[in-house]
Amino acid sequence: MAVSANSGNVIAKYLPVYFVLLAIAAIEFFLAYRNFSTAGLVRILLFLAICSAALGLMYFMHLAHEKRSLFLSLVPAAIFVLLMLNMIWSDSIRLLHMRPFAH
């Protein structure tokens, strides 16, 4: 199997990202045992989760080296899908309790 000439040192590229993800996980673990208000802790942990998800998407799914237009088309599409899923959840809960029409 031939190695691509432009791949460079893969370990040097992905190892720092891996250590940053480990650091984010350690920070999340540390913050979970601190005395924060529930809303404050949720905000901090949600921000850290979004950061780690963005790193995973950008480097491990190779989206960091894609064209900007692909990235700008994927983000609105993902937001649209999440919003549409949010619209459907109420119907699924309503149908779960066998009440098909809201009164």
Highest average pLDDT, of 4-8, 27-31, 81-85, comes from 27-31
pTM score > 0.95 for this model? no
Name the percent of the chain lying above pLDDT 90: 33
2-13 pLDDT, tens digit each: 555 556 677 888
Instruction: Show me where the domains of the chain are located.
Output: 1-65, 66-103
Give the distance from CA 75 to its chain's centroid.
Answer: 12
Residue 101, sorted as left (phi over 0), alpha (psi -120 to 50) or beta, turns out to be beta
Pairwise CA distance, residues 13 & 36, whole Å: 36
Cβ(59)–Cβ(17) under 8 Å?
Answer: yes
CA distance 48 to 23: 10
Residue 1 has pLDDT above 50, yes or no: no
